[in-house]
Amino acid sequence: MAKREEFVRRRLELNEKVLRRATLGIKRFWNLDEQSYHAGALDAKTKELLGLASSLVLRCDDCITYHLVQACEKGASGAEIMETLQVGLVVGGSIVIPHMRRAVELLEQLEEQADQEKS
Amino acid sequence: MAKREEFVRRRLELNEKVLRRATLGIKRFWNLDEQSYHAGALDAKTKELLGLASSLVLRCDDCITYHLVQACEKGASGAEIMETLQVGLVVGGSIVIPHMRRAVELLEQLEEQADQEKS
Amino acid sequence: MAKREEFVRRRLELNEKVLRRATLGIKRFWNLDEQSYHAGALDAKTKELLGLASSLVLRCDDCITYHLVQACEKGASGAEIMETLQVGLVVGGSIVIPHMRRAVELLEQLEEQADQEKS
Amino acid sequence: MAKREEFVRRRLELNEKVLRRATLGIKRFWNLDEQSYHAGALDAKTKELLGLASSLVLRCDDCITYHLVQACEKGASGAEIMETLQVGLVVGGSIVIPHMRRAVELLEQLEEQADQEKS
Amino acid sequence: MAKREEFVRRRLELNEKVLRRATLGIKRFWNLDEQSYHAGALDAKTKELLGLASSLVLRCDDCITYHLVQACEKGASGAEIMETLQVGLVVGGSIVIPHMRRAVELLEQLEEQADQEKS
Amino acid sequence: MAKREEFVRRRLELNEKVLRRATLGIKRFWNLDEQSYHAGALDAKTKELLGLASSLVLRCDDCITYHLVQACEKGASGAEIMETLQVGLVVGGSIVIPHMRRAVELLEQLEEQADQEKS
C-alpha cells in the first residue's frame, strides 16, 4: 500500500527534522502525546478511537490517517471505525465529509492489505 | 445537584421551542443525533466518550455537560472520564483547559450525588 | 423585550470603549464590517442571512444575536430564518445545537415583540 | 475544464466508497445534507450562497468548490459570488484568504467555460 | 477590581479540583503550559502577547483574560496590547469582535487599577 | 529554493485574480491586512511572530509559510521561531503538529538558503 507507506516515511522524516531543532518543551509535548494513547483505565483501541473522532471533528487529514491506522492495529473492526466516523460526522457536520471520504478510502486500503497478508 | 437539574430543565425547554418551529430537516437531524449514540458495534458508553472527547476539542460546554452526564449514566468510571479528557487536552491544547476545569467540577458533583443516592 | 435591549445597550457601551482606544486599523475594520452588509448585487436581507449562517457554524452567540435581529429588521420571515439555521446545522453539526436553541428563543421573542407593536 | 471535472469524478468515486460501507445513520446524514439545499422559503440559489459563506469561514476547499459550482448552476452571478465571499472574508478574517484565492480562480474557470458553451 | 479577582480565585479553585484528580499526563501538560511562557530566546512579554493573539483568534475569553493580565504584568503597554488585538482581529475576522470588546474592557480596568496603586 | 519561489509566484498570480474582480470591501481588507504588520508600538518582527502563532493555532499552511518567511526577513532567529511554534503547539494541541512539521522543514530551507547567499 504505497500511499500509507509514503505517509509513514514522510512523517518520520519530518519528525526527525522537528526533534533536531526542538526546544525542551516541544520534546516534552511529543512524549506526552505518545503516552496519552497507552492503555490505562481505557484500553489502547478505545483511546485511538477517541483520537480518531477528535481528529475528524477538527478536520486534520494527517491526524485521521495516523489514528485510523493505529486503531486498526489495536484491533478496531471496520464496523467500529464506521460508527466512530458517524459520531464525528454528526458532531462536526457536513464540513467533515471530505475528510471522512478520505478516511473510508484508507480503511478500504488497510483491509485489502490485511486480506493480502492473511492469504 | 441544582446546577445539573437546571441545565436539564433549560435544555428541555429550549428543545421544545426548537422542535415547535423546526423544519422537517431539523427534526431529522435531531433524530439522527440521538440515534448515533445507541449501542451497535461500539457500546453506548464508548460512544458517549467519543462524544465527550469531540465536544472538548470543539470547546462546547453544553455538549461536554451532556456527554459527561450520559457517559456516567452508561457506566463510565471517573478514571475513564479523566483519560478521555487527557486525550482531548493533548489533541486540542491549552485552549480547552477552561472547559476541562468545568468538566472536572461537574464530574465531582456527579460523583457526590451518586454517593448520596447510595447511602 | 429586556434581554435584547440589554444586549444592544451593552454592545454599544463596549463598542465605545473599543473605539476610544482603537488603532486606525481597528477603526477601518469596524467600517469595513458595517459596510459589508449594505445592499449591492445581493440585497441586505440575504447578506444578513449569510452573516447568520456564518455566525452559527462558527458558534458565536453575540454574532448570531446581531445578525438575527438585523435579518428580521430587513424583512426575513420566521421560515427563512429556520431554513438558514438548518443549513448552518447541517454544515456545522450537532456542536452548533446549543447556539441554535438560543437563536430560536430569540426569534420567538422578536416575533412576540413584533406582534405587540402591531396590536 | 479538467480540474473541475476531476473534482466531480473523484468526489463521486469516494462517495460510492463511503455509501458502500455506511451505517444507516451516515446514509441518513447524506440525504439530509442533500435535501437542505432544496428550494423552500428560501430559493435554491440563496441556500447555496449560505453553504458557500459557511464553507469559506470554516475553510474547507472541497465544500467551497461544491457550493460555488452549485450556486453558479442555480443562477448566481459573479458579482453575487464576490459579495458572498466578502461577507465570509470579513467574518472569518485573513485566515480565509488562501481559500478565497482558490475560489476566485474557480469562479474564473466557470465563467470561461460558460462563455465557451454559449459561443 | 472585583471581576478580575473573582476570575483569579475561581481559576485557582478549579485548577485544584483538576489537579486533585489529574492523570500524570494532565499534570505534565499543566507544567509544560506554564513553562512555555518563561523567557528564553523571546522575552516573557512577547510570549504573553503570542498567547494573547492565539487566544483571541481561537476565541477563548478565559485564555484572553489570563494572557492579557500576564502581558500587562510583564510590562506590555496599552498600545502594544491594542496592536496585538489588531493582528488577532485581522487574522480572525469579525467573529472575534465580541471577545475583543471584553478584552478592551479588561484592559481599561487593569489601567485604572494601576493608576490607583500609583497614587 | 524552488518550493518557496513557487509559493510566492502562485500567491501573486492568485492575488491578481482576486484583485481584478474584488469588491471595494475586499480591496480594503487587503490593504488593512498588509498594514497590520507594519512597525508601530510593536516592531515588525514581533508582529510577524504574532501572525505566525495565530496561523499555527488556526492551522493554515499558506498563512504559516507567509509569516515564517516574513519573520525571518524581519530578523527572527531560528530559536525565536521555535519558541513561537512551541507556544502555538501548547495552545493549539497535537492537531497543529502536521503544520508544525512543515513549518520546521521550511525554516530549514530558509536557513540553508541564507547560508548559501552568505558564502
Longest dimension (CA), chain E: 46
| % of chain C beyond a pLDDT of 90 | 87
Q: How far apart are CA A4 and CA B24, in angstroms?
A: 42
The count of residues in chain B is 119
Over 90: is that where the pLDDT of A55 sits? yes
ipTM for the predicted complex: 0.95
Distances (CA, A) of A35 to A29, A43, B83: 10, 13, 11
What would the mean pLDDT of A90-98 be, rounded to a whole number? Answer: 98
Nearest residue, CB atoms, D26 vs list A78, A89, A98: A89
> Which is more confidently placed, D119 or B116?
B116
* CB proximity list for B72: less than 8 A, separation 6 or greater: B81, B107, B110, B114
- Model pLDDT, residue C6: 86
Mark A95-105 as b/e (b = at least 16 C-beta within 10 Å): bbbbbbbbbbe
Q: How far apart are CA C11 and CA C3, in angstroms?
A: 12
- Model pLDDT, residue F4: 78
Q: With contacts defined as CB-CB under 8 Å, which chain F residues touch A14?
A: 101-102, 104-105
| % of chain F beyond a pLDDT of 70 | 98
* CB proximity list for C114: less than 8 A, separation 6 or greater: C72
Using the structure block, give the residue that is written with the C-alpha cell 472575534. Answer: E96
Over 80: is that where the pLDDT of A1 sits? no
Burial class (CB in 10 A: 0-12, 13-18, 19+), A30: middle
E103 shares contact with chain F (CB less than 8 Å)? no
Over 80: is that where the pLDDT of C28 sits? yes
Over 70: is that where the pLDDT of C2 sits? no
Q: How far apart are CA F21 and CA F54, in angstroms?
A: 28
The count of residues in chain E is 119
Nearest chain A Cα to C89, which residue? Answer: A93
E97 shares contact with chain D (CB less than 8 Å)? no
- Model pLDDT, residue E5: 83
CB A95 within 8 A of CB A62: no
B8 shares contact with chain E (CB less than 8 Å)? no
> Which is more confidently placed, C61 or D4?
C61
Q: Rounded to the nearest 5 degrees, what angle is found at the Cα of C100, between the Cα atoms of C95 and C106? A: 155
Q: With contacts defined as CB-CB under 8 Å, which chain F residues touch C40?
A: 23
Confidence of residue E3 (pLDDT cuts 50, 70, 90): confident
Closest Cα partner for B73 from B105, B56, B49, B50? B49
Q: How far apart are CA C28 and CA B46, in angstroms?
A: 49
Burial class (CB in 10 A: 0-12, 13-18, 19+), E25: buried
| % of chain D beyond a pLDDT of 70 | 98
Chain pair C-E, CB pairs under 8 angstroms: 47
Cell readout for C30 is 469596524
Chain pair A-F, CB pairs under 8 angstroms: 47
Confidence of residue D17 (pLDDT cuts 50, 70, 90): very high
Average pLDDT, chain E: 95
Q: How far apart are CA A78 and CA C115, in angstroms?
A: 54
- Model pLDDT, residue E119: 79
- Model pLDDT, residue E50: 98
Confidence of residue A2 (pLDDT cuts 50, 70, 90): low
Q: How far apart are CA F75 and CA F88, in angstroms?
A: 20
CB F102 within 8 A of CB F61: yes
Tell me the one-letter amino acid at C42.
L
- Model pLDDT, residue B119: 79
Confidence of residue F117 (pLDDT cuts 50, 70, 90): confident
Note whether C82 contacts B26, CB cutoff 8 Å: yes
Nearest residue, CB atoms, C86 vs list B11, B25, B62: B25
Tens-digit pLDDT profile for residues E66-101: 999 999 999 999 999 999 999 999 999 999 999 999
Tens-digit pLDDT profile for residues B27-72: 999 999 999 999 999 999 999 999 999 999 999 999 999 999 999 9
Tens-digit pLDDT profile for residues F62-115: 999 999 999 999 999 999 999 999 999 999 999 999 999 999 999 999 999 989
Region for residue B75 given its phi and psi (left: phi exceeds 0; alpha: psi -120 to 50; beta: otherwise): left
Q: With contacts defined as CB-CB under 8 Å, which chain D residues touch A89?
A: 26, 29
- Model pLDDT, residue A6: 86
Q: With contacts defined as CB-CB under 8 Å, which chain E residues touch A33?
A: none
A64 shares contact with chain D (CB less than 8 Å)? no
- Model pLDDT, residue B118: 84
Torsion over CA: B54, B59, B61, B62 (sign): negative
Confidence of residue F6 (pLDDT cuts 50, 70, 90): confident
Average pLDDT, chain F: 95
Helices C78-92 + D44-58 axis angle, to 10: 40
Answer whether 0.90 is exceeded by the pTM: yes
Over 80: is that where the pLDDT of F1 sits? no
Cell readout for F37 is 504588520
What would the mean pLDDT of D55-78 be, rounded to a whole number? Answer: 97
Comparing A33-37, E36-40, E109-113, which segment has the lowest mean pLDDT? E109-113
- Model pLDDT, residue F2: 62
Over 90: is that where the pLDDT of D5 sits? no
Note whether D104 contacts F14, CB cutoff 8 Å: yes
- Model pLDDT, residue C118: 84
Cell readout for A23 is 526546544
* CB proximity list for A72: less than 8 A, separation 6 or greater: A81, A107, A110, A114
Closest Cα partner for A56 from A99, A105, A23? A99
Closest Cα partner for D99 from B10, F14, B67? F14
Note whether F33 contacts E90, CB cutoff 8 Å: yes
Note whether B32 contacts D23, CB cutoff 8 Å: no
* CB proximity list for C46: less than 8 A, separation 6 or greater: D46, D49
Q: With contacts defined as CB-CB under 8 Å, which chain D residues touch F60?
A: 59, 95, 98
* CB proximity list for A65: less than 8 A, separation 6 or greater: A4, A7, A103, A106
Note whether F91 contacts E49, CB cutoff 8 Å: no
